[in-house]
Each structure stands twice: as C-alpha cells, then as structure tokens.
Amino acid sequence: MRSHAEMEMILKGYGLTTAEIFYHMPDHPHVLQSYIWQDYDLAPKFPAMSRFIEFWKSRLEGPLHSVRYTHKKLISPSEWRNVSGEFALN
C-alpha cells in the first residue's frame, strides 16, 4: 500500500521516471557500465532527474556517456473520475 505522501505526489501530477544511465568506468574508460535510476518526477522539466545528473557530474567518478529515460503518469485523466452519485441495486 502506498504512503499518504506518495499518493499526494501522484495526485499532483508526478509520475514515475526511470532513467538508464551509461557511464565510462573510472579505471577502464573504454568500458561502459549502466545504472538504473527511478524516482517520482514532474514532466517535462524533470527536476529530480536533473538534480541527480548534476550530483553525478559533480561528485561521482565515471563520466556520463548517455541517459535514456521514460516517464509514466501513474494516474492519468482517463483513469481518474470524480464520482458524484451512487446507485444501490437490490
């Protein structure tokens, strides 16, 4: 079950962003390694992913080669409806 704060984020428009980050290994620069990162983020600016990439560039060894990402809103307009009435069938 999702936490209350997580559900609030989803209702505010956050979606699940998954990034596959390819980077050069520090000891073997000709070898690429991949890392999977996942977090809730807001499209189209992706502030959380941008902060993580900036953190990577400034603090971690292993220069970035490329980043592939996908984003999916967990609740889209076609899935969410406000119910204003109820019918009881007996």
Averaged confidence pLDDT in the chain: 88
With a cut of 70, say whether residue 12 has pLDDT above it: yes
Mapping DSSP to helix (H, G, I), strand (E, B) and coil, where does residue 83 land?
coil
pTM for this model (two decimals): 0.77
More confident call, 46 vs 7: 46
Q: Give the pLDDT score at 33.
A: 96
40-48: long-range contacts, CB 8 A cutoff, minimum separation 24: 40/6, 40/9, 40/10, 40/14, 40/15, 40/16, 41/14, 41/15, 41/16, 41/17, 41/71, 42/13, 42/14, 42/15, 43/15, 43/17, 43/71, 43/73, 46/17, 46/71, 48/17
The domain segmentation of the chain, as residue ranges, is 4-73
- Cis amide linkage into residue 77, ω under 30° from 0: no
Q: Give the pLDDT score at 80.
A: 61
Q: Give the pLDDT score at 81.
A: 65
* pLDDT tens by residue, 24-54: 999 999 999 999 999 999 999 999 999 999 9
